[in-house]
Amino acid sequence: MWRATGLVFTPDGPINLRNEKFRADPRPIVEGLANYTANFSRAYLRHLTVAGEMLSGTLLTVHNLHFFLDLMAQARAHIEAETTRRGMAAWIERYEAGLK
Quick check: 60 and 6 in contact, CB under 8 A? yes
Give the integer Cα–Cα distance in Å for 22 and 77: 33
Q: What is the pLDDT of residues 26-58, one digit of tens each?
A: 999 998 888 999 999 999 999 999 999 999 999
Q: What is the pLDDT of residues 3-19, one digit of tens each?
A: 678 999 999 999 999 99
What DSSP character marks residue 15? E
16 phi and psi, to 5 degrees? -110, 110
